[in-house]
Amino acid sequence: MKYDVVIGCEVHVQLLTKTKAFCGCENRFGGIPNTRVCPVCLGLPGALPVVNQTMVEYAILAGLALNCKVASVTKFDRKNYMYPDLPKGYQISQFDMPICTDGRFSINTEKGERDVRIIRLHMEEDAGKNLHLEDGSGLSYVDFNRCGTPLLEIVSEPDMRSPEEAVLYVQGIREIMQYLGISDCNMEEGSLRCDANINLWIYEDGKKYETPISEVKNMNSFKAMKNALQYETNRQLKEWEEKRITLKKAGKVTRGFNDKTGKTVVQRAKEEEADYRYFPEPDLKPIRISKELVEKMKSAVGELPKAKRARFASQYGLQSTTSAILSKSKALADYFEESVKGYREPSKIASWIITELGGYLNSEGLSIEECPVPPKEIRELMELVDRGVISSKIAKEVFSRMTNTGKPPEKIVNELGLNQITDRTFIEELVVKVMSENPKSVEDYRRGKDHALKFLMGQIMKETKGKANPQSTAEILREKLKDG
Ligand SMILES: [Zn+2]
């Protein structure tokens, strides 16, 4: 059977503003429940919302980065529904006049680069959080600290054709938001949430059939997202083969993904727009967005990941995979650029950052922002190797001490006497000694067994704890072996 998987995404991004969307409460994750609240975000009678200007600016910034049109006038609307974590009984959102529309964002798929169209990007406030105790008491609590947190909702056209593409898209959106510095997009803390609409286009007997759309929720990681959408693809295929229900007949259903069972289950038949009784928020005037503000935001967008990757490749001569790794986060890209300032072989530092520094951060569970080694010290370490003061093997040891002690590389080398041995007479004596202790290897080498040379080198390095300069040692060793 020939079919296409068709996926569209709704991404919610929590904004890193100091205060909430419509009141002065602090906007921060966690805290003692119900301590970051006020009459406005609790929806007490008579309380009036005021629009957070930074939220509007961040929305424009995100819209521009996603190649959207920015509206000249935008307004807020009430989306009405009853739920325990929504004290007002409605959410302030945007309905028919969103701040940004008609964007596009390109993803790098296996089959090459492709544009995903973005229908709209709008501002809204978050709800609180329900906490259902699992101690058999049946009790539930609600924490309103998150109420009124500013969100952006980014809605795409159903342009993704596989679970992998959907993941690439959301990862790309996350990268851009982090680059702009407007959200940390931490999926575990819920500051990036994604719902996906998925169905199949099935081609049979020259006709195209569409299966009912599932809106899949509760995908709390990229892995969960891929699994959920893969599960949903298979489930819809099976359902089509058994029941042949079409989209026209069944419409749209909301399904929640359970990470433990790996399955999606029906939550509810999808509400239609009419169910929410949207109407203009009477307490907030429409906002006029000036050309000046849009221009100001345009210049604040800065260099985005794709452009940075291209520049890294051309300016520093890096391989495309290396550029891609280093530009994964703006912080890492900045670290790299700072470390190669005035250094002639950027690719050498690039690979050190990816392997040694990356390995260290990984094993310690640190982010690049938490890295105890300043970028210029990576350069200083490389320069010590270049000048022949230490070998690249010793450099690894020095680096490990840099992370533990916070001392600069040169100081560590001096304190521990790790400087390379380059004294020719000293090395010559050592070579003679090692040769006399290993007559069989010497003989082997002279009979043409090259691996014996490696063994003898190893013995010399062992004697000097790796400090003998490898080039001159190898040279002297070869000379002496020839002499015999
Ligand atoms: Zn408040």
Q: In whole angstroms, give the CA distance from residue 104 to residue 93.
A: 22
Whole-number Å distance, alpha carbon 311 to ligand 1 midpoint, is 44
Q: Is the pLDDT of residue 68 over 80?
A: yes
Residue 249: the pLDDT is 84
Whole-number Å distance, alpha carbon 293 to ligand 1 midpoint, is 27
Q: In whole angstroms, give the CA distance from residue 179 to residue 184.
A: 9
Whole-number Å distance, alpha carbon 85 to ligand 1 midpoint, is 14
Whole-number Å distance, alpha carbon 15 to ligand 1 midpoint, is 16
Whole-number Å distance, alpha carbon 90 to ligand 1 midpoint, is 15
Whole-number Å distance, alpha carbon 87 to ligand 1 midpoint, is 12
The secondary structure of 93-139 as a DSSP string is E--SS-SEEEEEEEEEETTEEEEEEEEEEEEEE---EEEE--SSS--
Confidence of residue 270 (pLDDT cuts 50, 70, 90): low
* pTM score above 0.75: yes
What does the pLDDT look like over 407-456, one tens digit per residue?
A: 999 999 888 877 777 778 888 888 999 999 999 999 999 888 888 889 99
Whole-number Å distance, alpha carbon 284 to ligand 1 midpoint, is 16
Q: Is the pLDDT of residue 272 over 80?
A: no
**How far, CA to CA in Å, does 284 sit from each of 20, 21, 55, 189, 287?**
15, 12, 15, 30, 9
Whole-number Å distance, alpha carbon 19 to ligand 1 midpoint, is 8
Side-chain-facing half-sphere of 474: CA atoms under 13 Å: 9
What does the pLDDT look like over 202-260, one tens digit per residue?
A: 999 899 999 999 999 888 899 999 999 999 999 999 999 998 888 888 888 889 898 88
Whole-number Å distance, alpha carbon 274 to ligand 1 midpoint, is 29
Q: Is the pLDDT of residue 56 over 90?
A: yes
Whole-number Å distance, alpha carbon 41 to ligand 1 midpoint, is 4
Whole-number Å distance, alpha carbon 256 to ligand 1 midpoint, is 30
The secondary structure of 345-376 as a DSSP string is -HHHHHHHIIIIIHHHHHHHT--GGG-SS-HH
Whole-number Å distance, alpha carbon 32 to ligand 1 midpoint, is 15
**Domain residue extents for the chain:** 14-163+171-193+260-293, 301-416, 424-483
Whole-number Å distance, alpha carbon 17 to ligand 1 midpoint, is 13
Whole-number Å distance, alpha carbon 153 to ligand 1 midpoint, is 21
Whole-number Å distance, alpha carbon 39 to ligand 1 midpoint, is 6
**Which CATH class name applies to 424-483?**
mainly alpha
